[in-house]
C-alpha cells in the first residue's frame, strides 16, 4: 500500500524547528536537482470573475488558510548528511504580491523560470493581477453576476505537487476565498489530503523488473531499443537545428477553442472511436510532419515519438483522491504516420489511440519505468544537463475535463472562468484540457530546442487542422 509521511517513523523535529518528514523520493530529487536552474517548474493562470472588486487582504488571508490546509505548501527540501529530505517549514510564509496591469501570460512564463529557496521555502508563489490582462468569454449570465475580472498566476516547485494536486489545491483556494469574502469560519485543521509516497507503484515496478530479468534476451533487446531512442534526434530538430548558444529558457504559447468548436471536436472524436487526447496528439504529430515537409522532407512515412504524462493515482488500489504530492510517470509511444496524414487522419488517430491504450493495458508504463531505472545514466541521477536535447518529438500532458476536479458550487462571490497550465522543460511540451466547456492548450518550449517562429507555426498548424476536421 502507498505510505504516508504522517505514519513514517523517520519523521523527527530538527533543532532549527524544521520537521524532517522523510527522505525525498527519486522523482522529488529529480525536480529539486533542476529547479534551481529554472527547469521543471509549474505555473497556472486562473482568470477570475467576481461580484465585487477583489481585495488584496482577502486574497492574502485566503492564501494563508490554504497554506495551513494543504500539506505540500508547507514543505521544503533540506540535505541531511548526503541525503535530500522532505521537511515541513518551521514558520508560516506565503509569497504573495499584487501586480497592476501585467500580462498574465508573460507573468506565467516568467514564473516557470524562477527557482525557489528550497532550504527555507515556501516552494510556491502567487500573484494577483489587476486590470484586464486578456479577457476571456464567460457566459452572459456569469458576466452579469460577476462583472469584475482579475487573474491569479500561481507557481510551484514540481517536487511538491503534480497537476492533479495543483488543480485540487487551487480549487480549494477559490472555495476558501469565497468563505473569506462571505465571513464564514474556516477550519484550518481540516486538510485537503496527505503527502504520500509512491510505494505501491514502486512495488509494482519491482515485480515487473523481476519478470523482465527472467528473460535476459528480451530484456537486452528492449534496452537496446531504449538506448537507440535516447540517442535519436526529434524530427523538428533535424529540420530546424537550434542556433548554437541559444538560451535555455521556456517560453509559452496559449490557445483555446470556443464552446461550439470544443463541442464539435469532442463529438467528432466520439463518433470516430478515439479519445480527445489521442486525436489531439495525432494533430500535434500531423503538424510536426507538416513543418518537416515545408523544410523539404520527402519521406513517405514518419515515425514520431511522444511521452505521455500519466497520473499514477488511477493505477493504485483503493481511493487515491486524497493523495497529494507528485504521483506521475510517463508512457512512451510511437507509431508510423503517413506523409499525407490529413487524407487519412481518423485512421491514423485510431492507430495511435489503439497503440497508447494497448500499452497501458499491458503495463507499458511499468516497463518504461524499469528501462529508465536500468539505464540511469540519463534519468534521475543529476547527469542530465539543462542543455541536453530531447529524444522524443513531444511531451503530452492531458488532464481531460478539469470540471471534474474543479467544483464551483457555493462560489457565490468569485469564480474561475479559465485555467491555463504549463511547466518549464527541456523539450516541446503540450498541455491541454477542457474547462467550462472550452478546450485550452499551452505549448511550453525552449528556443534551444524549438525556434520561436517554428513554435508559432506548429501551434497554428495544430489548430488550423483541428478546425478543418470538425
Residue 77: name the closest of 36, 37, 40, 108 by CA: 36
Helices of type H across 24-97:
26-35, 56-69
| pLDDT for res 136 | 65
| pLDDT for res 407 | 84
| pLDDT for res 11 | 53
| pLDDT for res 137 | 61
243 DSSP assignment: P
Nearby residues of 221 by Cβ (< 8 Å), 6 or more positions away:
none
Cα–Cα distance measured from residue 352 to residue 355, given in angstroms and rounded to the nearest whole number:
5
pLDDT band at 141 (very low <50, low <70, confident <90, very high): confident
Return the higher-pLDDT residue of 323 and 15.
323
pLDDT band at 459 (very low <50, low <70, confident <90, very high): very high
Cα–Cα distance measured from residue 412 to residue 335, given in angstroms and rounded to the nearest whole number:
48
Q: Dump pLDDT digits (tens) for 340-361.
A: 999 999 999 999 999 999 999 9
Q: Which of 11-25, 66-80, 108-122 has the lowest mean pLDDT?
A: 11-25
Determine the average pLDDT of the residues in 212-221.
Answer: 96
| pLDDT for res 314 | 92
The DSSP result for 345-402, as a single string, is HHHHHHHHHHHHHHHHHTTHHHHHHHHHHHTGGGSSSS---TTPPPSSSEEEEEEEEG
Q: Dump pLDDT digits (tens) for 426-440.
A: 889 999 999 999 999
| pLDDT for res 383 | 44
Q: Dump pLDDT digits (tens) for 400-410.
A: 999 989 988 77
Residue 1 pLDDT greater than 70, yes or no:
no
pLDDT band at 384 (very low <50, low <70, confident <90, very high): very low
Residue 138 pLDDT greater than 70, yes or no:
no
pTM above 0.85, yes or no: yes
Cα–Cα distance measured from residue 275 to residue 269, given in angstroms and rounded to the nearest whole number:
6
Q: Dump pLDDT digits (tens) for 159-198.
A: 999 999 999 999 999 999 999 999 999 999 999 999 988 8
Burial profile 298-337: b = 16 or more Cβ within 10 angstroms, e = fewer: eeeebebbbbbbbbbbebbeeebeebbbbbbbbbbbbbeb
Q: Which of 7-21, 154-168, 368-382 has the lowest mean pLDDT?
A: 7-21
pLDDT band at 259 (very low <50, low <70, confident <90, very high): very high
196 DSSP assignment: B
The rounded percent of the chain whose pLDDT value lies above 70 is 93
| pLDDT for res 123 | 98
The rounded percent of the chain whose pLDDT value lies above 90 is 81
Residue 234 pLDDT greater than 80, yes or no:
yes
N residues, the chain: 470
| pLDDT for res 3 | 36
- Beta strands 12-13 and 19-23 are antiparallel
Residue 14 pLDDT greater than 90, yes or no:
no
Amino acid at each position: 500500500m502507498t505510505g504516508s509521511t504522517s505514519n513514517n517513523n523517520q519523521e523527527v523535529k530538527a533543532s532549527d524547528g524544521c520537521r524532517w518528514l522523510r527522505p525525498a523520493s527519486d522523482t522529488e530529487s529529480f525536480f529539486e536537482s533542476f529547479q534551481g536552474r529554472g527547469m521543471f517548474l509549474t505555473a497556472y493562470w486562473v482568470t477570475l470573475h467576481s461580484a465585487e472588486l477583489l481585495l488584496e487582504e482577502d486574497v492574502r488571508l485566503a492564501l494563508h488558510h490554504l497554506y495551513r490546509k494543504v500539506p505540500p505548501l508547507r514543505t521544503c527540501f533540506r540535505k541531511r548528511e548526503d541525503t535530500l529530505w522532505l521537511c515541513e517549514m518551521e514558520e508560516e510564509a506565503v509569497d504573495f504580491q499584487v501586480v497592476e496591469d501585467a500580462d498574465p501570460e508573460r507573468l506565467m512564463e516568467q514564473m516557470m523560470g524562477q527557482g525557489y529557496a528550497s532550504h527555507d521555502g515556501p516552494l510556491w508563489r502567487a500573484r494577483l493581477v489587476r486590470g484586464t490582462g486578456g479577457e476571456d468569454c464567460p457566459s452572459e449570465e456569469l458576466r452579469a453576476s460577476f462583472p469584475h475580472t482579475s487573474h491569479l498566476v500561481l507557481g510551484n516547485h514540481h517536487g511538491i505537487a503534480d497537476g492533479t494536486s495543483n488543480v485540487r489545491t487551487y480549487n480549494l483556494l477559490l472555495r476558501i476565498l469565497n468563505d473569506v469574502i462571505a465571513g464564514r469560519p474556516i477550519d484550518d485543521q481540516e486538510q485537503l489530503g496527505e503527502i504520500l509516497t509512491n510505494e505501491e507503484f514502486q512495488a509494482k515496478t519491482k515485480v515487473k523488473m523481476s519478470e523482465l530479468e527472467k528473460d535476459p534476451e528480451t530484456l537486452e533487446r528492449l534496452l537496446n531499443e531504449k538506448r537507440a531512442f535516447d540517442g535519436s534526434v526529434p524530427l523538428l530538430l533535424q529540420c530546424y537545428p537550434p542556433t548554437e548558444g541559444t538560451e535555455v529558457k521556456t517560453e509559452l504559447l496559449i490557445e483555446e477553442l470556443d464552446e461550439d468548436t470544443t463541442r464539435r471536436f469532442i463529438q467528432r472524436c466520439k463518433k470516430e472511436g478515439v479519445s480527445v487526447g489521442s486525436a489531439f496528439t495525432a494533430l500535434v504529430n500531423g503538424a510536426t510532419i507538416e513543418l518537416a515537409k515545408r523544410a523539404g522532407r520527402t519521406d513517405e512515412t514518419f515515425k514520431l515519438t511522444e511521452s505521455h504524462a500519466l497520473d499514477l493515482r488511477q493505477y493504485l488500489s483503493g481511493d487515491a483522491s486524497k493523495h497529494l504530492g507528485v504521483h506521475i510517470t510517463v508512457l512512451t509511444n510511437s507509431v508510423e504516420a503517413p506523409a499525407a496524414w490529413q487524407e487519412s487522419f481518423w485512421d491514423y488517430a485510431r492507430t495511435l489511440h489503439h497503440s497508447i491504450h494497448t500499452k497501458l493495458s499491458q503495463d507499458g508504463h511499468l516497463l518504461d519505468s524499469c528501462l529508465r531505472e536500468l539505464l540511469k545514466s540519463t534519468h534521475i541521477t543529476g547527469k542530465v544537463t539543462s542543455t541536453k536535447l530531447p529524444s522524443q518529438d513531444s511531451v503530452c500532458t492531458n488532464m481531460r475535463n478539469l470540471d471534474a476536479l474543479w467544483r464551483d458550487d457555493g462560489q457565490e462571490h468569485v469564480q474561475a472562468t479559465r485555467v491555463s497550465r504549463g511547466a518549464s522543460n527541456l523539450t516541446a511540451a503540450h498541455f491541454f484540457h477542457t474547462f467550462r466547456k472550452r478546450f485550452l492548450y499551452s505549448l511550453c518550449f525552449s528556443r534551444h530546442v524549438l525556434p520561436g517562429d517554428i513554435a508559432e507555426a506548429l501551434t497554428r498548424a495544430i489548430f488550423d487542422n483541428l478546425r478543418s476536421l470538425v
